[in-house]
Structure 1
Amino acid sequence: MPPKSPAQILLDKADKKANSSGGWFTSSTTKFEEAGDLYQQAANSFKLEKLFKEAGDAFAREAECREKCKETNEASNAWWNAAKAYKRGFPDLAIQALTQTIVHLTQAGRFRQAADREKEIGQIYLQESNDLRRACESYVRAGDWYAQEDATATANGCYKDAADLHADLDEYPQAIARYEQVADHSLTSALTKYSVKEYWLKAGLCALAMNDTVTARRNMAKYGNQDATFPSTREAKFLTALIEAVEAGDQESFTGAVVEFDQVTKLDNWKTAMLLKLKRGIQEEPLLT
């Protein structure tokens, strides 16, 4: 039988301490505090050995000991440490641990930190399991918590990510509502005002993806009322050209507008995918005579 690793020896000590009946003179609180410390040492030792699942499990055991002693801050931290270990290949367990962290943070009124952890959950859903629906829900929840803590810029970042995901899920009305919400916030500050044309462009593309040029035009007029400089921007002119091409069922002028815009402002992946979707829509529409 191979010799036990230092981490395994610490884990055994922690288990023994947590399961001991305690003597005459030790309270159960002391017992769990000591066991928690040992689990933490074991977890860090497992991390050194690059055994991330074992490290996460030991941090989770630490968290349970901290909860038994009513040390909620330490419990919240231990769950977060568990999540960071689990992130190395065990996304489902990482999400479970982060969810436990969030329970402690929200109970303590620490919504800013809860939002940070909720945003992490969104990123895991997106990157590890490609679950757009759940990622979107996490970004919205994080955005709401940031907003109530006056972290407006961070909240807007989350709402924008949620809007992009709504559009990826073909939920265009929800996407438009989120882009407009972010644009409204951005208009209130000189620092962020320059970015509204980007959000309005995305909202316009979503209206076209619904094959609704009437709404697209109406929204364009509304945006022009909110910011008098918008109609003269390249984004607004691009949208107008796209609306006209879609109404005319004219693929050539649609492609021409895209190429012209892309030469000056490189199209990102999201816009490229949307524009391809719109172009296919023009092909599929029978020409109205």
Structure 2
Amino acid sequence: MPSKSPAQVLLEKADKKANSSTGWFSSSSSKWEDAGDLYQQAANSFKLEKLFKEAGDCFSREAECREQCKEDSEAANAWWNAAKAYKRGYPQQAIDALTQTITFLTRGGRFRQAADREKEIGQIYLQENNDLRKACESYERAGEWYAQEDAMATANACFKDAADLRADLEEYPQAIARYEEVANHSLGSALTKYSVKEYWLRAGLCALAMNDPVTARRSATNYANQDVTFTSTRECKFLKALIEAMESGDVEAYTGAVVEYDQVTKLDNWKTSMLLKIKRGIQEEPGLT
């Protein structure tokens, strides 16, 4: 018979402890505490063996023991350890464990940490499951919690990611509203003011993706009123060139503006895909005037 690994021996001990009946002189809370400690040791032992699913399962059992002892903070921690183990190839279990972590963190008023975990959920939805909608919801929830805790820079980063995803889902009005909200927050600080032109450009591209150069032009004027320096930026000039090309249905002028901008400021993937969508729109409706 093959010998048991140290992790399996610990797991059996933990199970035995958790399933034992409490005697006359011992309290049930000390039973759950001891079982929790054993599950934690088993989990760490499984991690050494690179058995991450088993490690995650043991941390989850530890968390349940901590809940039995009403140790919310330790339960939150155990669920988080479970999530970290599950992240090595078990995305759905990782999301479930992070969701449990968040329940305990919010109950304890620890919204800053809850936001961190919610953001992790968003990343898993995006990278592992390619679920843009769920990722977007997680980023927005995380952003709201960061904002409540006055962590505005982190909140804005989450809202910007959510806006990018809204645009990918072709929910352009919601994307525009988010970009403008982030821009408004960023205008107020010398540290973040430089990034405002980027948010406004993204909002403008969303308007063009809706085949709506009128709104795009009106917005650009609006932005220039909010910040007089916007008019002289490459972003503003680029946006105006795209608007003019769309209004006259001039695909060549449009392509020329994109190439020229890209030579100085490399286009990221998001902008590239948006610009392609807009270009298709111009090709389908030549000359909107």
TM over 0.5: yes
For residues 111-161 of structure 1, the C-alpha deviation after alignment (integer angstroms, 9 at most, x for no partner) is 000000000000000000000000000000000000000000000000000
Q: Could you say what the CA RMSD is over the residues aligned between the two structures, in angstroms?
A: 0.8
- Aligned residue for 1:83? 83
Counterpart residue number, 1:192: 192
Instruction: Report matched runs for 1:193-208 at 5 Å.
Output: 193-208=193-208
* Cα deviations by residue, 1:186-231 (Å, 9 ceiling, x for unpaired): 1000011011000000000000000011110110111011000001
d(CA) in 2 for partners of 1:66 and 1:281? 57
- Which residue identity does 2:58 align to in structure 1? A
TM-superposed deviation, 1:175: 0.3
> Alignment partner of 1:24: what SS?
coil
| Secondary structure, counterpart of 1:229 in structure 2 | helix
Query: Matches of residues 84-99 of structure 1 in structure 2 within 5 Å?
Result: 84-99=84-99
1:287 Cα deviation (Å)? 4.3
**Aligned partners of 2:287 and 2:246: how far apart in 1?**
11
The aligned amino acid for 2:195 is S
Between stretches 122-131 and 274-283, larger displacement belongs to 274-283
Partner of 2:253: 253
Partner of 1:171: 171
Question: Which residue is 1:109 aligned to?
Answer: 109
| Residue number in structure 2 paired with 1:53 | 53
The number of equivalent residue pairs is 289
Q: Which runs of 5+ in 2 are unaligned?
A: none
Residue 66 of structure 2 aligns to a residue whose secondary structure is helix
Who is 2:150 aligned against? 150
The CA deviation string for residues 62-121 of structure 1, in whole angstroms up to 9 with x for no partner, is 000000000000000000000000000000000000000000000000000000000000
Q: Partner residue of 2:42?
A: 42
Give 2:5's aligned residue: 5
Q: CA deviation at 1:255?
A: 0.5
The match for 2:220 is 220
Aligned to 1:162: 162
Distance 2:122 2:131 in 1: 9
Q: What is the rounded CA distance, in whole Å, between the counterparts of 2:248 and 2:221 in structure 1?
A: 20
Could you tell me which runs of 5 or more consecutive residues in structure 1 were left unpaired when the two chains were aligned: none
**CA positional deviation for 1:285:** 1.1
Q: Distance in 1 between matches of 2:287 and 2:131?
A: 37
Q: Which amino acid aligns with 1:54?
A: E
* In structure 2, distance between residues paired with 1:172 and 1:288: 20
Contact persistence 2:247–2:287 (CA under 8 A): no
Instruction: Report the Cα distance in structure 2 between the residues aligned to 1:40 and 1:215, rounded to whole angstroms.
Output: 57
Deviations 1:11-39 (A, max 9, x none): 00000000000222110000000000000
TM-score by length of 1: 0.99
Runs of at least 4 residues off by over 2 Å: 286-289
Q: CA deviation at 1:232?
A: 1.0
State the shift of 1:281 in Å. 1.0
Aligned partners of 2:31 and 2:233: how far apart in 1?
67
The aligned counterpart of 2:264 is: 264
CA distance in 2, matches of 1:113, 1:253: 49
